[in-house]
Amino acid sequence: MTLALAVDISLTLLVLAVAGWIIAVRDTFAAMIGFVAYGLLLALVWVRLAAPDVALTEAAIGGGLTGALLIGAAARLRGTEAAARAEYPGALTRTLAAVLAVTVAAALAIGVLALPDPTPTLAPAAAANLATTGVGNPVTAVLLAFRAMDTLLEAIVVLLALLGVWSLAPDRAWGGCPGPRRLVDPDGVLAWLARLLPPIGIVVGLYIFWIGADLPGGKFQGATILAAMWLLVIWAGLADTPPISRTWLRVLLVAGPLVFIVIGFAGSITAGAVLAYPEGHAKPLIVAIEIALMPTLVLTLALLVAGAPQRIPPQ
Amino acid sequence: MNTPTLFGLCAVALVGVGLYGLIVNPQPLRKILAFNLIGSGVFLLFGAIARRGAAVGMGGDPVPQALLITGIVVAFSATALAVALVLRLFDEAGSVTLAPDAPAEPPDA
């Protein structure tokens, strides 16, 4: 057994142990903390699967932002925990659920062991056409050139999710600020970190965004780091969430997808197909789309965590 | 056993663990969490298949890897919407039970 395989096996066991613990532990708050650790362990798995772009996304969004969202919700719902204890299903339901889960897993495992060899792959096709896009990172090339339609629809889905969250506001709070007003000790550790970390985080976020054209990284990972910095400042009480009726906010939220759509449809005139780029101009257009999407993504991701508007809008 | 197969089986086990948690745990927030475990298992299975597609100097097939990034972001958006729904239910009803015969008690105003 090689050392690499030993590392992989220990990582697998660790991931499965944390996953089992997340499901089994009584305290919901503890389960949410476990989920953040789980996200970071999964990021290591992605590195072992030679997918550093996915590893960054998993650590930033899968573990970080989702974890922050769930921890915040668990803290608010703490009082409902005791009542839920009485609703746990009986031994029969639990046994049937276990049988179902094992059956599904076993069926999938047979599929994993029966995967065709060699696996069909699009890597040679991506490599052959990478030069036409001007970017060096094949994943970025797929995201913004070969499969740009997916990324466009994704940007719109994220925006629709935000609209869905906002629409859950009580009528009187429509147009107001998301989340509760944060009252934190201005000399506390949180406020101190919220002053110390953002300058570093902003540089790291922008670097990961910019390097994404040629190396692992990209707008989603970079935008998540910037969104996290903004949320840190908000949670430390140093800034407040903007009222959702602000014009600048709404303009920035639609600007990214709008630029993407305009450049995409311009492609049908200049390059003969929707979301195609004219010969030789792919790189500047891709960079233009990424720069336009960046503020939209930062705002959307942070506001998705902040939640529905709760406070009456300022007059 | 090679690395993609090992992590493929790990992914399969995660789907199983998540499915069990989704059925057994009565709290909506824990169901959302379990659903995210299933989702990460599906992503990991897809990633293991992408790794098997390594060719021409690339560590894995970049097309599934790009789709995975899209998938993780969309899963986060869906989670945020689900959490917002649960929190609104809590604000309206004062509890978050999914039990069909539970009395809907208004919160003490």
Query: pLDDT at position A240, please?
Result: 86
Q: Rounded distance, CA A262 to CA A289, Å?
A: 10
Q: Minimum mean pLDDT among A269-273, B61-65, B71-75: which range?
A: A269-273
Residue B74 is assigned to a structural domain of this protein: yes
- The CATH number of residue B49's host domain is 1.10.287.3510
Looking at residues A257-261, what average pLDDT do you find? 91
Task: Give B62's pLDDT tier (boundaries 50, 70, 90).
Answer: confident
Find the closest chain A residue to B9 by CA distance. Answer: A109
Q: Rounded distance, CA A35 to CA A29, Å?
A: 10
Reply yes or no on whether the pLDDT at A207 is more than 90: yes
Task: Give B106's pLDDT tier (boundaries 50, 70, 90).
Answer: low
Looking at residues B24-53, what average pLDDT do you find? 92
For residues A190 and A221, the answer to whether their CB atoms sit within 8 Å is no
Residue B48 is assigned to a structural domain of this protein: yes
Candidates B36, B37, B49, B40; CA nearest to B8 is: B49
pLDDT tens track for A102-138: 999 999 999 988 888 777 888 888 887 887 777 878 8
Q: Rounded distance, CA A126 to CA A107, Å?
A: 32
Judge: A143–B99 Cβ closer than 8 Å, yes or no: no
Candidates B88, B41, B47, B91; CA nearest to A53 is: B47
The predicted complex's ipTM stands at 0.91
| Mutation site, B2, B5, B20, B23, interface A, largest A CB count within 10 A | B20
Number of domains in chain B: 1
pLDDT tens track for A19-60: 999 999 988 999 999 999 999 999 999 999 988 899 999 999
The burial of B104, by beta-carbon neighbours within 10 Å (0-12 exposed, 13-18 middle, 19 or more buried), is given as exposed
Query: What residue segments make up the domains of chain A, in order of their start?
Result: 136-315
Task: Give B42's pLDDT tier (boundaries 50, 70, 90).
Answer: very high
**Phi, psi angle pair for B58, to nearest 5°:** -90, 140
Both structure tokens of A167: 């629409």
DSSP class of A254: H
Interface subset of A 21-80, CB within 8 angstroms of B: 22-23, 28, 31-32, 35, 38, 42, 45-46, 48-51, 53-54, 57-58, 61-62, 65-66, 69-70, 73-74, 76-77, 80
Judge: B12–A16 Cβ closer than 8 Å, yes or no: no
Query: pLDDT at position A278, please?
Result: 84
pLDDT tens track for A145-161: 888 888 899 999 999 99
Candidates A294, A301, A196, A180; CA nearest to A241 is: A180
Query: pLDDT at position B109, please?
Result: 42
Q: Rounded distance, CA A67 to CA A51, Å?
A: 22
Both structure tokens of B34: 């379990």
pLDDT tens track for A78-104: 888 877 777 788 889 899 999 999 999
Looking at residues A188-217, what average pLDDT do you find? 89
pLDDT tens track for A175-200: 888 887 777 777 888 888 989 999 99
Helix runs in chain A, H state only? 3-24, 28-48, 52-57, 66-76, 81-85, 91-113, 123-133, 138-141, 148-166, 189-211, 219-235, 247-270, 282-306
For residues A218 and B69, the answer to whether their CB atoms sit within 8 Å is yes
Q: Which domain holds residue B62?
A: 3-93
Looking at residues A3-28, what average pLDDT do you find? 92
Query: pLDDT at position B102, please?
Result: 52
For residues B75 and A58, the answer to whether their CB atoms sit within 8 Å is no
Closest Cα of chain A to B100: distance in Å? 11
Residue B104 is assigned to a structural domain of this protein: no
Judge: A143–B47 Cβ closer than 8 Å, yes or no: no
* Of the partner residues A88, A113, A161, the one whose CB lies closest to the CB of residue B26: A88
Looking at residues A227-254, what average pLDDT do you find? 90
**Phi, psi angle pair for A178, to nearest 5°:** -70, 145
Q: Which residues of B touch A31 (CB under 8 A)?
A: 30, 33
Reply yes or no on whether the pLDDT at A206 is more than 50: yes
Q: Rounded distance, CA A52 to CA A90, Å?
A: 43
Query: pLDDT at position B105, please?
Result: 52
Residue B16 is assigned to a structural domain of this protein: yes
Q: Which amino acid is at A291?
A: I
